[in-house]
Structure 1
Amino acid sequence: MRRWLADAETVLANHSDRLNAINIFPVADGDTGTNLYHTVCAASAAAAEAPGNDVGTLLAAAGQAAMEDAWGNSGTLFAVFLDAFAASLAGHQRLSAPLLARALHRAQIRAWSALSEPVGGTMLSVLEAAADGAASVSGRAAHEDSNVALAAALDAVVEAALGAVVATETQLGVLTKARVVDAGGVGLLLVLAALRTAVLGEGIPEDTLETLHGFRVQDPHIHGDQPETQGVEIMCTITLSPLDAADLRRRLDEVGDSVIMSPVGAFDDVAGACRWRVHVHVTDPDSTLELIRTVGEPERLALTELRSDTPGSDGQPAEHFVEDTGRGRTA
């Protein structure tokens, strides 16, 4: 599991520019690769330091670190995925095909429920396909806990995820018009392929990735040609009761979009609350922060301007303005 997250960090570092180049949904701000990379870095660092051999405990630490330090919409969804994936592995020292299927199924449900308005043709569709792929293999092998069964399940996961990524181009109108696949979906595919690499030593060939529309190195930065994006992304962590969390989600749905809310860590029975990671896109950040502060004090607060930047001479998207009170991002 440590090798998985380290491999995912490496592969996202190698492909972040291309992920940024095709990032046009939900906003064309060209930062999906950057956001996924930095979020996975936080998870990988936590996994490297986590003691013991319980894969669930190790990945839970990685998932919570990712949640606390998530960047953007795609990073937050990855953190939700990893945190839920870990829950099914608690008490186990080895990944098996049935555990993989169970973990992906749980992650799929958690990811869809974390968004107020989940949309297909995105990371969600890729995760759903991966979970179905694992389930189609799990239980069919004579020795379902064997390495052979795990290898078959991982092959099915990556094959299904790749097919789902290709399908994203036809599932969202904005992707169809631009003739590109979903950037977040490709990012999740790379993360899942990194798991197969860690176990089997086999990743996705570069020539396969280059068949994805918009993903060749010589392809242009599609996001720079999209209509100008307006608004601000707000991310924070806040301690709330379940009732207050539901009320905050409802109120954020009224003033913004891309709302994601997911618990961070365990529920505190004594306090009757837990920590929540909050993500939202809004046009009026000041009033939204006032709204959030009516239910609690936000921590690890970050505001990022959403805009479609033209790539600089180095091929990287221009950096966004960031107001940061807790995660070390600078403009």
Structure 2
Amino acid sequence: MKYQTINGHDFYNMVVNASNRLLEESEYVNALNVFPVPDGDTGTNMSATFKSAVKEIEGLNSSSIGETSKKLAKGALMGARGNSGVILSQILRGISKGLEGKEAVDAVELAIAFKEGSTAAYKAVMRPTEGTILSVIRAAAEAAIETDKKDIVELMDVIVTEAKVMLDKTPELLPALKKAKVVDSGGMGLYIILNGMYDALKNDIKAEIKDIKPSEAKMQGAQGTEDIDIKFGYCTEFIILADASKAEKFRDDIIPMGDSQVVVGYEDVIKVHIHTNDPGAVLAKAVQLGELSKIKIDNMREEHREVLLSKEEYKLKDQNVEAAVEVEEAKKYAFVAVAMGDGITNIFKDLGVDYVIEGGQTMNPSTQDIMECIANLNAENIFVLPNNKNIIMSANQAAEISDKNVIVIPTTSIPQGITCVTMFNPENEVAENEEALKEAMEMVKTGSVTYAVRDTEMDGIEIKEGNMLGLVEGKIKKVGESHCKVAEEVLEEMIDEDSELITIFYGSDISEEEAESFTEKLEEKYPDLDVQCYEGAQPLYYFLLSVE
């Protein structure tokens, strides 16, 4: 067919068909992950983002391409997951800007809209990297502007052709792609979208949205469930103004006094968190080390009863029964963190994080997921800890959209996030805390142990499917057969003469006995370092490791 112009109905069929195609190919796009680790999620993220976009226009039935594209962009913006999803949402946002207020567009106007999409995508990335989805949209947009095609089917043919040419060039632009013998996964996702749009127009496809259920990120409040058994009733937090070298012995001394102990020393300060039934005994032992500051004791049983009462009040409200619910005054600070694994989630909750979003590798929360947490918080200032480099852009996008004061601390790992929470000072002003948390995250070296999902070679290291992989700051440094041995080698790479603390979070595939044995071995190997071990229960990663 030939199209001199396209309207809202045509554009609807184009993007819905594109969404369906991307859904069908999402696992293939995931498999293009450069690293041979089991967390390639570009296809999942882009498909979930685009599905959120087309869901926004479902049932719209508008002939206006401007109206359709505007709603599409809004859906993508709120549903954006991962860096690839955020960039895709910005492409759609730019295209929407180019189509704004138009009932129908011709080839020239559509080409300009694609150019707007490319421009918006580049602006969204602080340091644009060629050889990625950015290169693909730029090449496609430039070809659209330069061609003299008047028929929009022919224009889309040019766009798709040039997108494929650039996609095939991505390994030449990014050495990591060339070594892995793959094209850029984000670029492939975009190519599939463009091809789906082209096919819908060329073959006059009347597309229907295919129903999928992408993994939903779960928002968890800091309070427990109705059947919770609170063994230790007082959440006790304070600071000891004392030499940080005394932190390890103090932690050992208070172990019998409760659970959820977190004792972190830094220079002349020791920060303490514990759940206990006798806060006085803990404080009495602490004051022997030095002066106490910022003491905070909460009765968790009382808070839990209030939560259950609040739930009952909301049930009554749903049944149209009047219930007087007192509106609390906004607190100064609140925290939102992203975490994967029940153990790690509980640690964040114990440290006072208000909402923990279940997510991380393979399950990046969307902008909407983060926005919902922010909206539910009655606080003047809200800190967000993404704890994963692929979630930072979604968090930043949520912060930009929100009408609240949201500060994103760009943590790229769970240990960084936990360190930030422990070093937070509620008495400081916002700017002071932001600076302090960014400095705190830089003190943390992060490592991890997972397994290889395919044979490959990275930086001269030969990797076989099933090998244990040791990563330091996201880069593969060690390969072996034993996860404990590889973890030990990773720590050797991270520890230096300034190191004081090793923290281990063991995953769902590691038993408590194995974790304890590994910890004891490290304590013998590094007698001058404090070694802490926590159940993280995270999937895919046998160990998350940090050195401070």
Pairs aligned (count): 256
- Partners in 2 of 1:165 and 1:64 — Cα distance? 27
Output the CA distance in 2 between the equivalents of 1:193 and 1:44: 16
SS in 1 for 2:56: helix
Q: Does 1:48 align with 2:97?
A: no
Q: Where do 1:306-317 residues align within 5 Å?
A: 310=453
Aligned to 2:184: 182
Task: Report the equivalent of 1:260.
Answer: 393
Matched residue type, 2:95: F
CA contact (8 A) 1:29 1:309 kept: no
Return closer, same or farther for 1:282/1:85 CA change in 2, 3 Å cut-off.
farther
Counting aligned pairs with the same residue, the percent is: 24
Q: Does 1:81 align with 2:83?
A: no
What is the rounded CA distance, in whole Å, between the counterparts of 1:14 and 1:191 in structure 2? 11
Q: Secondary structure at the match of 1:124?
A: helix
**Greater helix percent: which structure?**
1
* Residue of structure 1 in register with 2:126 after alignment: 116
**1:221 alignment counterpart:** none
Deviation at 1:39, TM superposition (A): 1.2
Q: 1:49, CA displacement in angstroms?
A: 3.0
The match for 2:16 is: 6
- Shift in Å at residue 68 of structure 1? 1.0
1:133 Cα offset (Å):
1.0
Q: CA deviation at 1:114?
A: 0.6
Partner of 2:77: 67
TM-score normalised to structure 2 length: 0.40
Q: Residues 263, 90 of structure 1: CA spacing in aligned structure 2 closer, same or farther, 3 A cutoff? A: farther
Number of the residue aligned with 1:103: 113
Match of 1:126 among 136, 144, 166: 136
| Bigger Cα Rg | 2
Find out whether 1:15 has 2:25 as its counterpart. yes
* Structure 2 residue identity aligned to 1:53: S
Structure 1 regions of 5+ residues with no counterpart?
204-230, 240-247, 296-304, 312-319, 323-331
In terms of fraction of residues, the more strand-rich structure is 2
Change (3 A) 1:183 1:113: same
Corresponding position of 1:135: 145
* Equivalent residue, structure 2, for 1:158: 160
- 1:41 alignment partner AA: K
Give me the whole-angstrom Cα distance separating, in 2, the residues matched to 1:23 and 1:65: 26
User: How many Å separate the matches in 2 of 1:200 and 1:180?
Assistant: 29
Q: Per-residue displacement from partner, 1:171-215 (whole Å, max 9, x unpaired)?
A: 111111111101110100011111111211299xxxxxxxxxxxx
What is the aligned partner in structure 2 of residue 228 from structure 1? none
User: Is this contact kept in 2: 1:35–1:71, CA < 8 A?
Assistant: yes
- Compute the RMSD of aligned alpha carbons: 4.2
Q: CA deviation at 1:80?
A: 1.2
Q: 2:278 aligns to what?
A: none
Match of 2:41 in 1: 31
User: Would the alpha carbon gap of residues 79 and 289 (structure 1) be closer, same or farther in structure 2, given more than 3 Å must change?
Assistant: farther
Partner residue of 2:172? Answer: 170
Q: Give the superposition deviation at 1:57.
A: 1.7
Which residue identity does 1:45 align to in structure 2?
K
Q: Which position in structure 2 is the counterpart of 1:195?
A: 197
- CA shift, 1:263, in A, is 5.8
- C-alpha distance in structure 2 between counterparts of 1:276 and 1:89, whole Å: 33
Kindly state the Cα deviation for residue 166 of structure 1 after the two structures are TM-superposed.
0.1
SS at the partner of 2:102?
Answer: coil
Q: Which amino acid aligns with 2:71?
A: A
> What amino acid does structure 1 have at the position aligned with 2:187?
G
Length-normalised TM-score, structure 1: 0.64
Helix, strand or coil at the partner of 1:128: helix
Q: Distance between the aligned counterparts of 2:103 and 2:42, measured in 1?
A: 32
Q: Report 1 or 2 for greater relative contact order, CA contacts < 8 Å, sequence distance ≥ 6.
A: 1
Residue 153 of structure 1: CA displacement?
A: 1.5
The alignment status of 1:57 with 2:59, answered yes or no, reads: no
Following TM superposition, by how much is the alpha carbon of 1:307 offset from its aligned partner in structure 2, in angstroms?
Answer: 6.9
